[in-house]
Structure 1
Amino acid sequence: MKRLQPTLNVLLAAAVLCGLGACQTTKQSPIDELSTQEGLERVEVKGVDAVYRRPGANLSPYNKLLVRPVYIEFSKNWKPEQDSALYQMNEPDRERIRQGLADMFAEVMVNELQTKGGYQLVTESAADVLEVRPAIVNLYINAPDVSMQTAGRVRTYTADAGEMTLVVELRDSVTGTLLSRAFDRRNADNMSWQWTNSVTNSAEAKRIITSWADTLRNALDASRGKPS
Structure 2
Amino acid sequence: MKRGLLIAAMAGMVLTSNVANAAAPPASWDGLVKVKSKRLDLAYLQPGADFRGYTKVMLDPTEVAFEKNWQRDYNSSSRDLSSRVSDRDVQQALVKGVAASNEIFAEAWSKGGYQVVTEPGPDVLRIKTGVVNITVNAPDVRTSSRGVTLAPEAGQATFFIEARDSLTGALLGRAVDQRYAGDYGGGNWRTSASNRGDFRDLVSGWARDGVNGLNNLKALSPIRP
Q: What is residue 168 of structure 1 aligned with on the other side?
A: 161
Contact 2:105 2:207 in 1 (8 A): yes
- The answer to whether residue 132 in structure 2 is matched with residue 137 in structure 1 is yes
Give deviations 1:155-202, integer Å, cap 9, x for gaps. Answer: 966584311000111111111111010000013784586424xx9x72
Q: 1:24 to 1:65 in 2, by over 3 A?
A: farther
Contact 1:163 1:186 in 2 (8 A): yes
Distance in 2 of aligned mates of 1:98 and 1:159? 24
Q: 1:108 to 1:37 in 2, by over 3 A?
A: closer
Distance in 2 of aligned mates of 1:182 and 1:207? 19
Distance in 1 of aligned mates of 2:191 and 2:57? 31
Secondary structure of 2:163's match?
strand
The match for 1:216 among 195, 206, 210 is 210
Contact 1:65 1:122 in 2 (8 A): yes
Contact 1:127 1:173 in 2 (8 A): yes
Secondary structure of 1:127's match?
coil
The match for 2:32 among 34, 40, 51 is 40
Identity %: 31
For normalisation by structure 2, the TM-score amounts to: 0.78
The match for 2:84 among 81, 88, 97 is 88
- Count of equivalent residues: 206
Q: How much is the aligned-residue C-alpha RMSD, in angstroms?
A: 3.0
Q: What is residue 116 of structure 2 aligned with on the other side?
A: 121
Q: What is residue 178 of structure 1 aligned with on the other side?
A: 171
Distance in 2 of aligned mates of 1:145 and 1:122? 33
Contact 2:66 2:132 in 1 (8 A): yes
Q: 1:37 to 1:69 in 2, by over 3 A?
A: closer
Structure 1 position 77, deviation (Å): 2.8
Uncovered stretches (5+) of structure 2, i.e. residues with no partner? 220-225
Uncovered stretches (5+) of structure 1, i.e. residues with no partner? 150-154
Q: What is residue 8 of structure 1 aligned with on the other side?
A: 4
For normalisation by structure 1, the TM-score amounts to: 0.77
Distance in 2 of aligned mates of 1:77 and 1:110? 30
Secondary structure of 1:111's match?
helix
Q: 1:169 to 1:23 in 2, by over 3 A?
A: farther
Q: What is residue 63 of structure 1 aligned with on the other side?
A: 55
Distance in 1 of aligned mates of 2:52 and 2:142? 50
Q: What is residue 143 of structure 2 aligned with on the other side?
A: 148
Structure 1 position 220, deviation (Å): 2.5
Give deviations 1:64-92, integer Å, cap 9, x for gaps. Answer: 11111111121123132223232232222
* Higher RCO structure, 1 or 2 (CA under 8 Å, sep 6+): 2
Contact 1:60 1:220 in 2 (8 A): no
Q: What is residue 103 of structure 2 aligned with on the other side?
A: 107
